Every structure is written in C-alpha cells, then in structure tokens.
Structure 1
Amino acid sequence: MFDKNDFEVFNDDTLSGRLELIRKNLDPKFEILGQDLLQSLEDEYHQKFFLKIAKHQRRTKNPPPDTWLAINQDKKGYKKTPHLEFGLWPDRYFITFSLLADIRDRENYYSILEKYQNKIISEGWGVSNDHTSSVLKDATEFDNVIKHYQKVKSSDLVIGFELLKNDSIVSSSDYDQLLKDKFMKLSQYLVLFNKEAAK
C-alpha cells in the first residue's frame, strides 16, 4: 500500500495543491491503515481506541509540512492525551508516541517516564522534545529529553521510529508490515502510560 510515491504530495508548494494531493493520495491509505490498527489494538488490549486523520483545516496560507493519523484512548480528542501517530515528513515516515506540552495532568507523567526509561532506551526508540521537528535523537539521549520535558513547560516528549525516504527498503520492497509492527510495538506505551496515570 505505501510506496515511495507517497512523498510526491510534498512536491506541491501551494496550500490548496498539497491539501488536494494529501486528500487524494494519502488519506485513503490512512483510513485503511487506521481501521486495521484500531482492530489490531482492540484485539491486543481489549480496550477502546479512537482514530483521527489530520485535515489541516486551520491552515490558511502555508501548506502542511507533514501529515498523519493519530490514535488515542479518549474520544474527546488526542492532543491533550497520550497518543500515537503515523505519518510522513517530506523525507521520512514516522511512528511516534507523544506527550505534548499542554497534555492534561502533565506532571503525572514525569514519574511514569522515569519508570519506563530504561525499557525505552533498551528498545532503541528515537526520542525528541519537539513534535514539530522531523528529527529524532538517539535513545541514549532519553535521560536528557525527560529532564528537559520536566523543566521546560513548552517542550514535548516524543518517542518513536522513522523510516527514511531514501532507505533501500522504501525503494525495493513491501514495508507495510514493518510499519504496522513498529506501531503495534510502540502502542504498549500508550496503554501503559494511561494505566499508570489512572492509578
């Protein structure tokens, strides 16, 4: 389903043109993948999950620099809760678990992050303090990322995986299952963090 042509949506530098390409070329794939992920998550965890596909409706001038689907466990919306995303920047696919700057009850997650810090590092996820940047740091930076998140109220906490556009697997093979497997592996933190925060 996904292939290197996905990135062609970013070749159009106009707002209307890029949005049209996203709606035509990527949103149908997001819908198929999103429904598949919802079913897999609910089969795995026996809990309820909710899907949102980015529509970029607030944009009036500049084209979106990335596009995505998001899944969380709160039907009211995902941005103020722990959530997962799958999407594209112009040069890479990304799969992330995020706690944004304005998440509800932010301080409740500080000790949870520390509890799972070693596990996240050992699994080799990329990490970041900025969900608006495509670049993920090495897992070995996670201690610094957590400390920054605890100290700087405007910072995010992002854990994830990226597959670069120029990676050989994107050019030569079917990688849908790889993307799904990474998403499902990362989903453990969505469920764990929500469970821990509810205690």
Structure 2
Amino acid sequence: MFDKNDFKVFDDMTLSGRLNLIKLNLDPKFEDFGAELMQRLEKEYQQQFYMKIAKHQRRTKNPPPDTWLAINQDKKGYKKTPHLEFGLWPDCYFITFSLLADIRNRSDYYPILKKYQQQIEKEGWGVSNDHTSSILKPSTELGEVIDHYQRVKSSDLVIGFELKSDDPIVNSANYDELLADKFLKLSKYLVLFNQEISKL
C-alpha cells in the first residue's frame, strides 16, 4: 500500500496542487489503512473508535506541511480528546498519541502521564511538546516533556514513532505491517488514558 512515492505530494508547493495530490494519492490509502486499523482496534479492545481524515479545509494560502488520519473514542471530535494519528511529514511517516494544548479537563491527565511515564520510557517511544513539528525527542526526555506540558498551557504532549523517508525499509516498499504494528502498540495508551479518565 505505502511506498516512497507517497512523499511526492510535498513536491508541489502550491495549495491547490498539494491538496489535489493528497486527495488523489494519499486519502484513498488512508481510507483503506484506517479501516483496517479500526477493525483491528475494535477486535482487540471490544470498544468503539472513530476515524477522521484531514481535509485541510481551513487552508486558504499555504499548502499543508503534513497530512494524517486520526482515531479516537469520542464521536464529537478528536482534537479535545486523547487521540492517535497516522500520517506523513515531507521526511517521514509518523504515528502519534497526543494530548493537545486545549484538551478537555487537561489537568486530569497530569497524574495519568506520571503513572505511565516509566512504561512509555521503557518502550522507547519518541516524545514532544509540539504536534506541529516532526521532531521527536528520545524517550529519556519524557519527564521534561511532561513537566513542560504541566507548566506551559500552550504546549502539547506527543508520544510516537517515526519512519524516515530515507530508511532502507521504505525503499523496500514492504512496511505496511510495521506501521500497523506500531499504531496498535501505541493504541493501548489511548484506551488506558480514557479508562483512567472515566474513573474520575
């Protein structure tokens, strides 16, 4: 399904051109891959999940720097809830679990983050305070990232994985299962965090 040609959408520097390439070349893959992920998630957890594919409808001038699909467990929308994303930056595929700056009941997540901090660090996920950047820091910096998230209200909390476009496996065009596996492994935090919040 996925191959190195996916990144060619970012070669077009115009808004209309890039949006058209995303619609033609990536969105159909997102639909198929997302449907597979949803099926596997619902089988694994026996819970309801919802998917949204980015349409970039608010953009009027600059082309989108990335594109993605998002999955969460709230049908009202994903941005104010814990959610998972799979998508592309110009230099990598990304899979992330995010708590954004304006998530509902933000402070309720602070002790939950602390509770699972050691486990996340041990698993080696990348971490960040900015969902608008493709740069993930090593998992060893998670403590600092959590502290920053608690102190700076405009910051996000991002945990994830990146597969660089120049990675040898991308040239092999045989990494769909790797991406799905990483997504499913990260999905446990979506379910765990929602379970923890439901107890409050």
Q: Same fold (TM over 0.5)?
A: yes
- Partner of 2:132 in structure 1? 132
Shift of 1:172: 1.9
Distance 2:181 2:172 in 1: 19
Give 5+ residue unaligned stretches, structure 2: none
Shift of 1:173: 4.1
Does residue 67 (structure 1) correspond to residue 62 (structure 2)? The answer is: no
Does residue 161 (structure 1) correspond to residue 161 (structure 2)? The answer is: yes
Cα deviation code 1:147-196 (max 9, x no counterpart): 00000000000000000000000012400000000000000000000000
- Partner of 1:123 in structure 2? 123
Distance 1:109 1:123 in 2: 20
Contact 2:4–2:173 under 8 Å retained in 1: no
- Partner of 1:10 in structure 2? 10
The equivalences for 1:1-199 within 5 A come to: 1-199=1-199
Q: How many residues align?
A: 199
Distance 2:122 2:169 in 1: 24
* 3-state SS in 2 of match to 1:122: helix
Distance 2:150 2:73 in 1: 24
Contact 2:71–2:84 under 8 Å retained in 1: yes
AA aligned to 1:17 is G
Shift of 1:85: 0.1
Contact 2:82–2:98 under 8 Å retained in 1: yes
TM superposition score normalised by structure 1: 1.00
Give 5+ residue unaligned stretches, structure 1: none
Shift of 1:143: 0.2
Cα deviation code 1:101-130 (max 9, x no counterpart): 000000000000000000000000000000
AA aligned to 1:180 is A
C-alpha RMSD of matched pairs (Å)? 0.4
Contact 2:128–2:157 under 8 Å retained in 1: yes
| Deviating 4+ runs (over 2 angstroms) | none
Distance 2:173 2:7 in 1: 16
AA aligned to 2:18 is R
Distance 1:27 1:58 in 2: 17
